[in-house]
Amino acid sequence: MLSFARTVGDALLAPFAWLPPLWGLLALSVVLGAVLLVAFRWLSPQRRLRLVKDRMLATVYEMRLFADSPRLVLAALVRSLRWLGEYLLLATPALLILAPIVGLLLARAATLYEYRPLSLGDSALVSVTLTEGEGREVEISAGEGLAVRPPVVRVQSLHAAFVRVRAQREGTHEIAINVGGQRVTKELAVGRQGGAISPLRVSADAWDLLLSREPPLEAGPVSAVEVAYPLQAASWFGLPWWAILFIVSIIAAFALRGPFGVVI
């Protein structure tokens, strides 16, 4: 199921993956706002929503018109809250249907916009999570382009091992982990601009699989491998990528609600 969700998410994001990160994020935000707007139109009772919004607006005018009568203002306020409650009840089913789709897109979009590759000379911490109770020796090595900086630190209470690697050459390189005869690998990107970054490699039944671009790990002594990539620079208007996504999507949805004839 999670593998299928990854495939669907990647297919939806494919048109934006080739763009420079910021432009891809802005394009995705506008398209997402438009798509969610159209989906909300078909999933919600638009006529009833329009009626409820009109009645809410009427109570606002009523409160302004009878501002010198506390009794009438209070009655209008109660009706306004009643219409607001009905509006939320009418809109909630559509929002619940769309929420998992948005969550999937956010998880997969994180591999495009959350992290950046290592620069030459950068170091990153590699974390290896072991099966609980696994006490065999952990050997970590890397091919040309990366340098492993010993020692490998074992933390028995966390069932994990840690080591730092240093980037020496641009490209996508491979880290190899050997535990009790089982060998697993993890890719590490250096100096590559654009494209997806896979910070994790996990087993097929882990929810973190949605943050991985690599094949799932087979059952064995290693349950996860993570590279602590640096985050994308916050120079994108001083905001994290997900905040830009939400803000631009909302602006796009409100800008298009008139031409699309959608009540929100």
45-66 pLDDT tens trace:
999 999 999 999 999 898 888 8
Q: Cα(146)–Cα(166) distance, rounded to whole angstroms? A: 6
Q: Using one digit for the tens of pLDDT, what is the confidence trace for 214-258?
A: 899 988 889 999 999 988 866 677 788 999 999 999 999 999 998
Least confident piece of the model among 82-96, 117-131, 178-192, 242-256: 178-192
pLDDT (0 to 100) of residue 81? 92
Arithmetic mean of pLDDT over the chain: 88
Q: Please state whether the predicted TM-score (pTM) of the whole model is above 0.85.
A: no
pLDDT (0 to 100) of residue 234? 60
Q: Cα(71)–Cα(245) distance, rounded to whole angstroms? A: 44
CA 85 to chain centre: 30
* Residue 10 · residue 228 · CB < 8 Å: no
Average pLDDT over residues 198-207: 87
Q: Using one digit for the tens of pLDDT, what is the confidence trace for 16-42?
A: 988 888 899 999 999 999 999 999 999
At residue 208's C-alpha, the angle toward residues 161 and 120, to 5°, is 60
Closest CA to 252 of 79, 7, 27, 18: 27
pLDDT (0 to 100) of residue 10? 85
Average pLDDT over residues 137-143: 87
165 pLDDT band, cuts 50/70/90, is very high
pLDDT (0 to 100) of residue 248? 95
Q: Cα(60)–Cα(32) distance, rounded to whole angstroms? A: 32
The type of residue at 223 is S
pLDDT (0 to 100) of residue 229? 92
Average pLDDT over residues 87-101: 91
CA 10 to chain centre: 12
194 pLDDT band, cuts 50/70/90, is low
Evaluate if residue 149 carries a pLDDT over 70: yes
List the strands of the sheet with 182-190, edge to edge.
138-142, 171-179, 182-190
Average pLDDT over residues 143-171: 89
Evaluate if residue 15 carries a pLDDT over 70: yes
Q: Cα(161)–Cα(155) distance, rounded to whole angstroms? A: 6
3-class secondary structure, 216: coil
pLDDT (0 to 100) of residue 196? 82
CA distances from 250 to 193, 256, 264 (A): 28, 10, 11
3-class secondary structure, 134: coil
* Residue 167 · residue 259 · CB < 8 Å: no
Closest CA to 20 of 178, 224, 192, 247: 192
pLDDT (0 to 100) of residue 87? 92
pLDDT (0 to 100) of residue 27? 95
CA distances from 143 to 39, 60, 122, 124, 149 (A): 48, 68, 16, 15, 13
Q: Where are the domains of the chain?
A: 2-114+238-260, 123-227
Evaluate if residue 135 carries a pLDDT over 80: no
CA distances from 193 to 17, 27, 33, 118, 121 (A): 11, 18, 27, 10, 16
pLDDT (0 to 100) of residue 137? 83
CA distances from 247 to 33, 37, 81, 164 (A): 10, 14, 27, 37
3-class secondary structure, 142: strand
